[in-house]
């Protein structure tokens, strides 16, 4: 037995994994056998990781556990049969959409397939929206490299796409005078990673900047390059600009498998027919290992790490002008999370979180009372915040490899496959840089068979329409004069008008659900959570899209809002409404 295998075997034996077996496959290590709990499976994976293998494939079965099925659209037709593209991207999260936009600079045909009825429905719409400064990861990691480059790219990209982006900066607060002794280590890490503009703030200076900061702080390390944006708005904006530059976004389209011919993807099998591509990009988030498996190239396994966040009322934003966390730096070594904290959003809400817990399910976004309790420690960082400021909660799932790093590379065994996998945090912050490098890899493959040139008419600017809540009173008056629908406020919490809803419903990517509208401009994301505006929004959707009210869903299949009339012979004063229901 070779030395590497020996090392992993010894590690597993020491941890008493007697029912776990292992073998080498290509340059990876595969674990098989049985354990009694999910935590044990994860622990075994980590024992095998970073021992010199390229990846860990963890096929250990957990006694009594159910298999975790991917949610798929219920549409099956042949509408895409025979379509050919130079590039097909799997996955409509921030990774896939950024790659689509980046590739749309070239004279090639591109399709992005997304299994859901909208973009950003998984990790990319369920995160903290923080453009991390790039200090958290080891200097040798891909995560650190792409984070720093991505962070620097965001100012220009957000300007081009018309997406709000701010750099409030972030504090790592010290929770004891002893923690302050770690300052030189933080400085060396920041220097090695190339973090921009970092500095130490004394206790007094922190208080000057954040007047309501806890008295329990002992100064902090300030990272001014930390930014915030709306992750779902950004994902949609990337995709809209890609569409404006010729990309096809195919929603409700799931990759079901590949037809392989001698290390080449010959056919891409979907629920809407078989298509072909010169190059396939695997940007499938938590399912990227399944996609790799379809291509017989599964050299890594992904495991889900759930993060729960609480959203606080908009009135709290003014109390917290910068992002802030107080991790226990002395016990931080070996942790797989940045620890969470208080994040100021561009809209003025605060986020508290996220938590980080290993979970056996890949798409279960439920939240539990103990998640919420875990978040409360962050609330204490600011003396103005109260539990009653919390509006709602959400959860997301990070796609983690056992090596805890991104996989950004062309496949070593399939000549037309490129992986953008294991994109856990800081995947949002890194997206522009990942997209840049993946698009270069794609072009290198394509150039073997065709000429790839920059498109002369590529337009980096997304076409946008005015957002009422960002305008001065004079500008509002002007817009309302031009388009009276802007004068009718539908969402009172977020100040969104009928004009904006109508414009959004006719934007380049179809909006097919209430949550789809929310992802575009936060309608229903305020204090009342859609309690007041939903009926009117549904009426507008029904009228504009010419669909029945009963066809409108909250978030795709199985989330119907109205089924039928509750009473017979109801006399509607508004005949139109009755028609919409029928």
Ligand X SMILES: Cc1cc2nc3c(=O)[nH]c(=O)nc-3n(C[C@H](O)[C@H](O)[C@H](O)COP(=O)(O)OP(=O)(O)OC[C@H]3O[C@@H](n4cnc5c(N)ncnc54)[C@H](O)[C@@H]3O)c2cc1C
Interatomic CA distance for residues 466 and 446, integer angstroms: 39
Q: In which residue are the tokens 């004279």 written?
A: 107
Q: Residue 223, CB half-sphere, CA atoms under 13 Å: how many? A: 29
Please identify, among the stretches 48-56, 129-137, 178-186, 237-245, the one whose residues bind ligand X according to the rule CB under 6 A. Answer: 129-137
**Quick check: is 303 catalytic?**
no
Beta carbon of residue 180, minimum distance to ligand X (angstroms, whole number): 26
In the complex, what is the shortest distance from the CB of residue 333 to ligand X, in angstroms, rounded to a whole number?
Answer: 21
Q: How far is the CB of 91 from ligand X (least distance, A)?
A: 3
Alpha carbons 206 and 174: distance in angstroms, whole number: 11
- Cβ closer to ligand X: 198 or 393? 393
Q: How many CB atoms lie within 10 A of CB 257?
A: 15
With CB under 6 A as the contact rule, the residue among 17, 60, 111, 124 that binds ligand X is 124
Tell me how far apart the alpha carbons of residues 422 and 301 are, in angstroms, rounded to a whole number.
9
Q: Round to whole Å and give the CA distance between 91 and 180.
A: 43
Q: Tell me which stretch binds ligand X (CB under 6 A): 16-24, 27-35, 136-144, 421-429.
A: 421-429
Q: Which of 9, 101, 122, 378 touches ligand X (CB under 6 A)?
A: 122
In Å, how far are 136, 193, 357 from 339, measured between CA atoms?
10, 19, 11
User: Which H helix or E strand runs over 7?
Assistant: helix 3-14
Of the ranges 195-203, 219-227, 286-294, 521-529, which one interacts with ligand X (CB under 6 A)? 286-294
Q: How far apart are CA 131 and CA 426, in angstroms?
A: 8
**115, 116, 437 from 255: Cα distances, Å:** 7, 11, 24
98-117: contacts with ligand X (CB under 6 A): 113-116
- Out of 122, 132, 303, 378, which one is annotated catalytic? 132
As a whole number of angstroms, the distance between CA 25 and CA 220 comes to 47
CA–CA separation, 517 and 521 (whole Å): 7
Choosing from 90, 153, 213, 243, the residue that interacts with ligand X (CB under 6 A) is 90
x-or-dash string of contact with ligand X, 245-264, rule CB under 6 A = ---------xx---------
Give me the residues paired with residue 28 across strands.
25
Q: Does 349 engage in binding with ligand X (CB under 6 A)?
A: no
Q: Is residue 354 a contact residue for ligand X (CB under 6 A)?
A: yes
**Nearest CB to ligand X, comparing residues 276 and 550:** 276
C-alpha–C-alpha distance, residues 29 and 9, integer Å: 11
Among 104, 127, 301, 416, binds ligand X (CB under 6 A): 127
If one asks whether residue 396 binds ligand X (CB under 6 A), the answer comes out as yes
The yes or no reply on residue 73 touching ligand X (CB under 6 A) is: no
- Residue 418 in the binding site for ligand X (CB under 6 A): no
Task: Enter the tokens of residue 225.
Answer: 């390059």
Measured from the CB atom, is 431 or 533 closer to ligand X? Answer: 431
DSSP state for residue 70 in the 8-state scheme? P
Contacts with ligand X by CB under 6 A: the residue count is 42
92: contact with ligand X by CB under 6 A: yes
Residue 312: partners with Cβ closer than 8 Å, 6 or more residues away: 349, 350, 351, 352, 385, 389, 390, 391
236 binding ligand X? (CB under 6 A) = no
427 binds ligand X, rule: CB under 6 A = yes
Distance CA 69, CA 460 (A): 38
Which is nearer to ligand X, 111 or 254 (by Cβ)? 254
Tell the smallest beta-carbon distance from residue 401 to ligand X (Å).
Answer: 12
Window contacting ligand X (CB under 6 A); options: 86-94, 153-161, 499-507, 565-573? 86-94
C-alpha closest to that of 154 among 29, 238, 242, 216? 238
Q: Which of 63, 195, 219, 72 is CA-nearest to residue 134?
A: 195
The least distance separating ligand X from the CB of residue 71, rounded to whole angstroms, comes to 8
Nearer to ligand X, 98 or 534 (CB): 98
By annotation, the residues acting in catalysis are 132
Q: In the complex, which residues of this chain contact ligand X (CB under 6 A)?
A: 90-96, 113-116, 121-124, 126-130, 132, 254-255, 283-287, 291, 307, 309, 354, 396-398, 423-429
């Amino acid at each position: 037995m070779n030395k590497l295998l020996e090392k992993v075997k010894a590690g597993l034996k020491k941890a008493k994994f007697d029912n776990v077996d292992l073998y080498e496959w290509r340059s990876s290590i595969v674990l098989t056998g049985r354990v009694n709990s999910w935590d044990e499976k994860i622990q075994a994976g980590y024992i095998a990781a970073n021992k010199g293998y390229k990846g860990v494939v963890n096929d250990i079965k957990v006694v009594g556990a159910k298999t975790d099925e991917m949610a798929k659209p219920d549409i099956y037709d042949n509408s895409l049969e025979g379509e050919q593209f130079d590039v097909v991207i799997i996955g409509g999260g921030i990774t896939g959409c950024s790659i689509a936009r980046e590739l749309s600079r070239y004279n090639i045909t591109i399709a992005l397939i997304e299994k859901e009825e909208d973009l950003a429905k998984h990790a990319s719409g369920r995160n903290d929206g923080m453009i991390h400064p790039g200090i958290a990861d080891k200097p040798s990691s891909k995560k650190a490299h792409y984070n720093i480059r991505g962070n620097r790219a965001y100012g220009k990209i957000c300007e081009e796409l018309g997406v709000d982006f701010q750099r409030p900066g972030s504090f790592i607060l010290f929770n004891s005078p002893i923690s302050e002794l770690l300052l030189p280590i933080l400085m060396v890490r920041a220097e090695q990673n190339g973090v921009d503009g970092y500095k130490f703030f004394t206790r007094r200076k922190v208080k000057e900047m954040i007047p309501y900061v806890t008295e329990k702080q002992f100064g902090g390390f300030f990272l001014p390059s930390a930014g915030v944006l709306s992750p779902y708005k950004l994902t949609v904006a990337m995709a809209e600009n890609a569409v404006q530059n010729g990309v096809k976004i195919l929603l409700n389209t799931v990759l079901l498998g590949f037809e392989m011919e001698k290390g080449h993807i010959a056919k891409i099998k979907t629920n809407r027919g078989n298509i072909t591509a010169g190059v396939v990009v695997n940007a499938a988030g938590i399912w990227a290992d399944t996609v790799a498996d379809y291509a017989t190239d599964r050299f890594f396994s992904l495991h889900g790490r759930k993060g729960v966040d609480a959203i606080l009322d908009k009135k709290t934003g003014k109390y917290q002008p910068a992002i802030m966390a107080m991790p226990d730096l002395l016990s931080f070594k070996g942790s797989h999370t940045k620890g969470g904290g208080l994040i100021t959003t561009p809209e003025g809400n605060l986020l508290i979180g996220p938590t980080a817990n290993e979970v056996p399910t890949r798409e279960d976004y439920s939240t539990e009372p103990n998640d919420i309790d875990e978040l409360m420690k962050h609330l204490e960082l600011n003396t103005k915040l109260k539990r009653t400021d919390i509006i709602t909660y959400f959860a997301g799932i990070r796609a983690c490899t056992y090596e805890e790093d991104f996989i950004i590379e062309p496949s070593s065994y399939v000549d037309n496959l490129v992986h953008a996998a294991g994109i856990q945090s800081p995947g949002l912050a890194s997206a522009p840089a990942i997209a840049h490098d993946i698009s270069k890899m794609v072009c290198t493959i394509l150039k073997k068979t065709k000429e790839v040139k920059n498109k002369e008419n590529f337009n980096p600017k997304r076409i946008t329409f005015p957002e009422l809540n960002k305008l001065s009173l004079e500008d509002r008056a002007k817009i309302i004069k031009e388009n009276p629908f802007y004068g009718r406020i539908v969402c009172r919490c977020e100040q969104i008008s009928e004009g904006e809803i109508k414009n959004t419903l006719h934007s380049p990517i179809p909006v097919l659900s209430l949550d789809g509208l929310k992802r575009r401009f936060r309608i229903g994301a305020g204090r009342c959570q859609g309690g007041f505006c939903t009926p009117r929004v549904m009426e507008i959707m029904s009228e504009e899209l010419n669909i029945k009210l009963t066809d409108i869903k909250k978030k795709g299949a199985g989330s119907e809002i109205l089924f039928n009339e509750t009473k017979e012979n109801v006399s509607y004063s508004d005949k139109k409404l009755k028609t919409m229901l029928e």
